[in-house]
Amino acid sequence: MTSAIHTDRSPSSAVPTSPAPTGGFIATAALADNLQRVLVDLVALHITLKQAHWTVSGPGFRNLHLALDEIVDDARDHSDAVAERLRAVRAVPDGRIATTADTSTLAEFPLGEVPVQDVVSRVTRLLEQTVHTVREVHDDVDAADPTSADLLHVIIENLEKRAWQISAESSR
């Protein structure tokens, strides 16, 4: 199979490319599509959480503002790991802005200042939505490539922990 330039923005825009010269593992289209779904939600997550970081307002601002930066870093690291995994299995990740906007499952974050408690609720939901996507593709990814599934386990563990930590703010 030869490499091709793809301009569509469908979840299947992460496409397998040519085999490794040594005959290494090559992702199926389904595996690439599943990892691509995770990638766009992680990219959307770190961009959206940065917006939350900039616009959170009210009592408890500082702690939440700093916590959001940590989660943004986690989401960015996870998206990079997924994109690099796609490349390692000879697929091409698509993290372009238009692709992410068109294919992410995450809810929009509102424009303007957002009270701390609203940010807590919204961020918790965004983290849960991202985990839902990862869990939704997990079994198919595990069947195709257990190594990629191991990466998903790390993402699930981290984002579920972050959702718990952020949601604990609502009990203050």
Contacts for 129-133 with beta carbons within 8 Å, 24 or more apart? 129/41, 129/105, 130/41, 130/42, 130/45, 130/75, 130/106, 130/159, 131/155, 131/156, 131/159, 131/160, 131/163, 132/105, 133/37, 133/38, 133/41, 133/105
Q: Are strands 56-57 and 114-115 parallel, antiparallel or unpaired?
A: parallel
- Per-residue pLDDT tens digits for 43-66: 999 999 999 999 999 999 999 999
Q: Taking the model in full, what pTM does it have? A: 0.88
**Domain for residue 130, yes or no?**
yes
Residue 6 lies in a domain: no
Is 42 within the bounds of a domain?
yes
74 CB-side CA count, 13 A: 19
Residue 2 belongs to some domain of the structure: no
Distance CA 58, CA 41 (A): 28
Residue 163 covered by a domain: yes
Question: Are the CB atoms for 116 and 64 separated by under 8 Å?
Answer: yes
Asked if residue 38 belongs to a domain, the reply is: yes
- Read off the pLDDT of residues 68-78 as tens digits, 9 standing for 90 and up: 999 999 999 99
- Within 10 angstroms of residue 166's Cβ, the number of other Cβ atoms is 23
The CATH number covering residue 134 comes to: 1.20.1260.10
Q: Using pLDDT thresholds of 50, 70 and 90, give the confidence band for residue 15.
A: low
pLDDT digits (tens, 9 = 90+) for 117-159: 999 999 999 999 999 999 999 999 999 999 999 999 999 999 9
- pLDDT score recorded for residue 54: 97
Residue 136 is predicted with a pLDDT of 98
CA 127 to chain centre: 9
Is 4 domain-assigned? no
Residue located via tokens 């994109």: 83
Residue 125's domain spans which residues? 11-171
Contact 68, 169 (CB under 8 A): no
Domain count, the chain: 1
57 φ, ψ to 5°? Answer: -150, 145
